[in-house]
Structure 1
Amino acid sequence: MDLRERVIAAAEEGLMRHNEIAETFQVSVSWIGKLRKRVRETSSVAPEPHRGGQPGAFQAQAAERLI
């Protein structure tokens, strides 16, 4: 079982508070909150897609010039 699934299962059992779950699984309390929100909104524990960041320094056009 994936870490996200185990954390959600522990949270849904209702036997531990978020800070106890965070300590048990070595994750942050805020991550648990974000994960639970994602499950409520999407019904999935899958990670969010990568949202970007800085583009790579090596562009495709530069690669074509090298060939």
Structure 2
Amino acid sequence: MKIGMRKPSIKKSISARTTGRVKRAVKKAIIPGYGRKGMGWINNPSKAMYNKVYNKTTFSFCDILKSLLK
């Protein structure tokens, strides 16, 4: 498990902001319950637990900028 700052990746950041929007819209139209809060714990509890711990123990470069600009 990683602790500390995540390695920044411009390519992944742009990809997450663009391609995911269309895929999420299609899945939400087809799969009932997709995108609802807590569905990760139902579908894959071990992955949901890992992601929760990972997001609490790591931070990104953008998080640092946001806290400095406040």
Fold agreement, TM-score > 0.5: no
In the superposition, the TM-score normalised over structure 2's length comes to: 0.23
TM-score, structure 1 normalization: 0.24
Structure with the higher helix share, 1 or 2? 2
Answer 1 or 2: which has greater strand percent. Answer: 2
